[in-house]
Amino acid sequence: MQTDPERMLRDLADLRRIGAVGTGVVRPAFSETDIAARHWLAERMREAGLTPGFDPIGNLFGLPPGEAPCLLLGSHSDTQPQGGWLDGAYGVIAALEVARAAREAGGPGIAVVSFQDEEGRFGGLTGSSVWSGALSLAEADAMTDTGGVALADARAAMADVAGGFVDPARFTGFVEMHIEQGPVLDQAGEAIGVVEAIAGLRQLDIRLSGQQNHAGTTPMRLRRDAMQGLIGFATRLNVVLEPLATPATVWTIGHVQVEPNAASIVPGMVRFTVQWRDAEAARLERMEAATRDTAAEVAGERGLGLEISDFPPLSPVALDPGLCAHLAAAAEHCVPGRWRRMVSGALHDATNVARLMPTAMLFVPSIGGISHSFAEDTAEADLIAGVEVLAEAARRITAA
Amino acid sequence: MQTDPERMLRDLADLRRIGAVGTGVVRPAFSETDIAARHWLAERMREAGLTPGFDPIGNLFGLPPGEAPCLLLGSHSDTQPQGGWLDGAYGVIAALEVARAAREAGGPGIAVVSFQDEEGRFGGLTGSSVWSGALSLAEADAMTDTGGVALADARAAMADVAGGFVDPARFTGFVEMHIEQGPVLDQAGEAIGVVEAIAGLRQLDIRLSGQQNHAGTTPMRLRRDAMQGLIGFATRLNVVLEPLATPATVWTIGHVQVEPNAASIVPGMVRFTVQWRDAEAARLERMEAATRDTAAEVAGERGLGLEISDFPPLSPVALDPGLCAHLAAAAEHCVPGRWRRMVSGALHDATNVARLMPTAMLFVPSIGGISHSFAEDTAEADLIAGVEVLAEAARRITAA
């Protein structure tokens, strides 16, 4: 099979126009633009010799002729409320191009998917969650967006085209290509990331309570300052997590709320999140213990009250070693020396699909690591290299 | 002169009823309850043989008969929006009791004042600022409260009773008694603080800007995390300020704003206040240099943008050593060994009056250091000791 890079770039440009706002795209799940894009995609699938079909949750599958199990490629075509043009869309259009090239070459049969609501207008990874059985349709229907619209009402707009769920047994495996959405490949000047695992995530919501006081009349030695508690905690946390971490391990204090948050008042309460991600469950566990111990130590030393709430943990997902080996061989064939094995710090639909079948992912660089932004972009040469690696990988996987 | 503690406590209880809410008091400047309290006070002054008079900004003076310059005692009777029953009120009623006792004893003549808007419904120390000439009446009139009401309109409610400004030359000196509003006397089990200085205050509004990023896809080594910048800054600031500080020096990070303030996003910007107070201008200056240097160092090391805004500085005020010596002698006489010399970390009307005449202050303990709260309180024995020390001091000052 021989992909046509120009044709893929044209399709990507056409899809970008649906919901375009400046350099970005506004195409949240089940919006008019999202539905229009899904119909446009179904038409492209049909032209490529695939049979398009929507399932009840809005996932669009394009299936090759015949009943034989085949490889599935794809990603999602919905966007963030203010999204970039490549997040999801690139993986869908690259899949379409490879499936089309395979059809033109007389085989192998390759299927294409665009999952629905990956970006979480309602839940996040919603379409692949329902398809993989992690979430029931009834549970999904009850979810609402920030404006109070229920998913059940939103998906009614596609009821006229909705068919049944595609049987996952139709597929031998799944490869999702995606932009990295981080700076690693761009900084290293590399073209491809072979994703071996999707990082798990844990998060604690920590509340330190001290004594709210007048910032003029309360001597330092008599203060129980919640903000100074956070400062002491965060400084020590960096020290204790450092030796537990790999270069791919991350931790973040992203949300901070100070009470009463006034320049002349010693803070009586501070509430903040600590979130960390890693590809190994055992490391996530060790980091949680270290975080809880550090919070307890600092609170104890400073006479602060301590409350910790759990956030539901997300387990790391190891991707299929056999598929990863094919992706690595394809990358070395197409862009020798310009690729790496890596961990995805962000979640993807592949997380859900990995429960059902062998699954792997490919990354292409994001310029400056920017994503979820109108400024999101990838060099044209990298977009082209990506689809060539995906096609080469599909060739190797289906020949194996 | 012989003060009557029971009479003073009765007056204090009566004043507490005007605007009482639970154990607290709601009597903001020029509210109905504040105006009612001022009229009630004027009546008590008249009964005590003083001539009451309101000036254009709402300050209430009670003057003894005759034209001879006399000692002025007092504080303020307006409260915080949710104020305690003693903040300001205690100093006014103690002054009334001492002036009344002096009248009963046939002299010396002692005047009483309740300044207006000490608590800052409009400006903060507004009445004493206008009376001392630090603020013009026109400037004050233009100030508005948080609801948009101009002081000019608020004070119109007292236009029917407003007379001229009292000439400061009527007074030989000013002594303000006040609750400490901090924990020092209470913790030490002491009854009286002789305030030798009112701390000055400086404040910087610091903004550190980094790079907002995805908390999953951005490796630690490639982050420019503004929140980590604040953590590094605050930790180092504690180290550099420690050797510059006295036990009375304080510094506070009280206001913190993180952008975008989401658990899964590396903070791109953090804005926070650093405020510090001390009785010595040179120390305030050294602390400012250390704070600015530390911010510049941390921003430089971490590749963060740095912007610093000045807050108008408040200079420290040294109180009158001669008056302080009389207050110290009176304290040692009434509560031997149970008093200390100290610095006020909070602002008071004495700050303004000190520009015009010899001025000093006395503190009584605040239980638990609590103030600006319905829970504000002082032991009855301490309220009584306070008025005895004030009377003894007035005796010594007027005899000198």
Cα dist from B287 to B25, B83, B282, B293, B298, whole Å = 37, 32, 9, 10, 16
CA distance A76 to B67: 89
CB contact under 8 A, A277 and B234: no
pLDDT at site B364: 98
pLDDT at site A310: 84
Amino acid at B2: Q
DSSP B80-128: -TTB-SSTTHHHHHHHHHHHHHHHHTT---EEEEEES-TT-SSSSSHHH
Q: Say if CB A79 and CB A117 are below 8 A apart.
A: no
CB contact under 8 A, A252 and B245: no
HEC secondary structure over A83-101 = ECCCCCHHHHHHHHHHHHH
Cis peptide before A260 (omega within 30 of 0): yes
What percent of chain A clears pLDDT 70, i.e. is strictly above it?
A: 100
CA distance B81 to B116: 14
CA distance B25 to B17: 8
| Residues of chain B contacting A203 with CB distance shorter than 8 Å | 263
pLDDT at site B296: 98
Cα-to-chain-centroid distance, residue A293:
30
B residues 47-86 near A, CB within 8 Å?
none
CA nearest A253 in B: which residue? Answer: B263
CA nearest A204 in B: which residue? Answer: B263
What percent of chain A clears pLDDT 90, i.e. is strictly above it?
A: 96
CB contact under 8 A, B222 and A372: no
CA distance B122 to B118: 9
CB contact under 8 A, A255 and B235: no
A residues 135-194 near B, CB within 8 Å?
180-184, 187
| Residues of chain A contacting B219 with CB distance shorter than 8 Å | 182-184, 247-248, 250
| Residue B372 touches partner A, C-beta closer than 8 Å | yes
B residues 33-52 near A, CB within 8 Å?
none
Amino acid at A87: D
Show the CA angle centred on residue A273, arms to residues A272 and A276, nearest 5°: 150
Of B219, B275, B344, the CB nearest to A248: B219
| Residues of chain A contacting B375 with CB distance shorter than 8 Å | none
CA distance B285 to B211: 32
* Radius of gyration, CA atoms only, chain B: 24
Q: Give per-residue pLDDT as tens, A125-135.
A: 999 999 999 99
Q: Give per-residue pLDDT as tens, B315-324.
A: 999 999 999 9
| Residue B210 touches partner A, C-beta closer than 8 Å | no
CB under 8 Å to B276, separation ≥6 — which residues?
Answer: B201, B202, B203, B241, B249, B250, B251, B252, B284, B287, B288, B291
Average pLDDT over all residues of chain A: 96
Of A199, A257, A275, the CB nearest to B264: A275
A residues 85-124 near B, CB within 8 Å?
none
CA distance A149 to A152: 8
Q: Say if CB B34 and CB B28 are below 8 A apart.
A: yes
Q: Looking at A110-170, which runs of residues are DSSP E strands? A: 110-115
pLDDT at site B1: 87
**DSSP type of residue A50:** -
Summarize the confidence of residues B220-225 as an average pLDDT. Answer: 96
* Radius of gyration, CA atoms only, chain A: 24
Summarize the confidence of residues B113-134 as an average pLDDT. Answer: 95
| Residues of chain A contacting B220 with CB distance shorter than 8 Å | 245, 249-251
DSSP B272-317: EEEEEEES-HHHHHHHHHHHHHHHHHHHHHHT-EEEEEE---B--E
B312 pLDDT above the threshold of 90: no
CA nearest B180 in A: which residue? Answer: A217
Q: Say if CB B126 and CB B56 are below 8 A apart.
A: no
Query: What tokens appear for B371 in the block?
Result: 């103030």
Cα dist from A290 to A284, B141, B205, B229, whole Å = 10, 57, 33, 22
Helix axes B32-47, B89-104, angle to 10 degrees: 20
CA distance A135 to B165: 76
Phi, psi angle pair for B257, to nearest 5°: -130, 120
CA distance A39 to B166: 83
pLDDT at site A338: 98
CA nearest A182 in B: which residue? Answer: B217
Summarize the confidence of residues B195-202 as an average pLDDT. Answer: 96
What is chain B's length?
Answer: 400
Q: Smallest CA–CA separation between A88 and chain B, in Å?
A: 16
Q: Give per-residue pLDDT as tens, B251-270.
A: 999 999 999 999 999 999 99
Q: How confident is the model at residue B173 (pLDDT cuts 50, 70, 90)?
A: very high
What is chain A's length?
Answer: 400
pLDDT at site A311: 82
| Residues of chain B contacting A248 with CB distance shorter than 8 Å | 219
B58 pLDDT above the threshold of 90: yes
Q: Say if CB B234 and CB A229 are below 8 A apart.
A: no
Phi, psi angle pair for B341, to nearest 5°: -85, 140
Q: Say if CB A386 and CB A335 are below 8 A apart.
A: no
Summarize the confidence of residues A344-354 as an average pLDDT. Answer: 96
b/e per residue, B61-91, with b = 16+ CB within 10 A?
bbbbeeeebbbbbbbbbbbbeebbbbbbbbb
Q: Smallest CA–CA separation between B34 and chain A, in Å?
A: 24
Nearest to B346 by CA among B22, B80, B99: B80
CA nearest B204 in A: which residue? Answer: A263
Beta bridge partners, B204, equal B274, B310
Burial of residue A81 (number of CB atoms within 10 Å: 0-12, 13-18, 19+): middle
B190 pLDDT above the threshold of 90: yes
A residues 213-242 near B, CB within 8 Å?
213-222, 225, 227-228, 230-232, 234-235, 238
pLDDT at site B400: 83
Higher pLDDT residue, A310 or A96?
A: A96
| Residue A309 touches partner B, C-beta closer than 8 Å | no
CB contact under 8 A, B216 and A345: yes
Phi, psi angle pair for A169, to nearest 5°: -65, -10
Q: Smallest CA–CA separation between A263 and chain B, in Å?
A: 4
A1 pLDDT above the threshold of 90: no
pTM as predicted: 0.89
Cis peptide before B108 (omega within 30 of 0): yes
Helix (H) or strand (E) holding B392: helix B380-399
pLDDT at site B311: 82
A340 pLDDT above the threshold of 90: yes
CB contact under 8 A, A220 and B251: yes
Q: Give per-residue pLDDT as tens, B320-342.
A: 999 999 999 999 999 999 999 99
pLDDT at site A400: 84
Of A218, A227, A369, the CB nearest to B182: A218
Query: What tokens appear for A145 in the block?
Result: 């967006």
CA nearest A180 in B: which residue? Answer: B217
Q: Say if CB B72 and CB B66 are below 8 A apart.
A: no
Query: What tokens appear for A261 in the block?
Result: 């948050």
Phi, psi angle pair for A305, to nearest 5°: -75, 150
Burial of residue B230 (number of CB atoms within 10 Å: 0-12, 13-18, 19+): buried
CB contact under 8 A, A266 and B254: yes
B310 pLDDT above the threshold of 90: no
Q: Say if CB B1 and CB B99 are below 8 A apart.
A: no
| Residue B277 touches partner A, C-beta closer than 8 Å | yes
Half-sphere exposure of A67 (CA within 13 A, CB side): 0
pLDDT at site A123: 85
CA distance A152 to A226: 44
Q: Say if CB B225 and CB B298 are below 8 A apart.
A: no
DSSP B339-362: EEEEEESS--THHHHTTTS-EEEE
CA distance A353 to A130: 10
CA distance B54 to A36: 74
Show the CA angle centred on residue B49, arms to residues B46 and B53, nearest 5°: 45
Q: How many CB pairs under 8 A join A and B?
A: 190
- Helices H, strands E: what count in chain A? 12, 18
Nearest to A252 by CA among B271, B303, B231, B304: B231
pLDDT at site B316: 97
CB contact under 8 A, A199 and B214: no
Q: Smallest CA–CA separation between A4 and chain B, in Å?
A: 30
Alpha carbon distance, N-terminus to C-terminus of chain B: 16
CB contact under 8 A, A263 and B248: no
Summarize the confidence of residues A140-157 as an average pLDDT. Answer: 95
CA distance A59 to A127: 6
A220 pLDDT above the threshold of 90: yes
Q: How confident is the model at residue A227 (pLDDT cuts 50, 70, 90)?
A: very high
| Residue A251 touches partner B, C-beta closer than 8 Å | yes
| Residues of chain B contacting A218 with CB distance shorter than 8 Å | 182-183, 250, 345, 369
| Residues of chain B contacting A182 with CB distance shorter than 8 Å | 213-214, 216-219
A236 φψ region: left (φ > 0), alpha (ψ -120 to 50), beta (else): alpha
Q: Smallest CA–CA separation between A163 and chain B, in Å?
A: 35
Summarize the confidence of residues A151-163 as an average pLDDT. Answer: 97
Q: How many CB atoms lie within 10 A of CB A384?
A: 18
| Residue A203 touches partner B, C-beta closer than 8 Å | yes
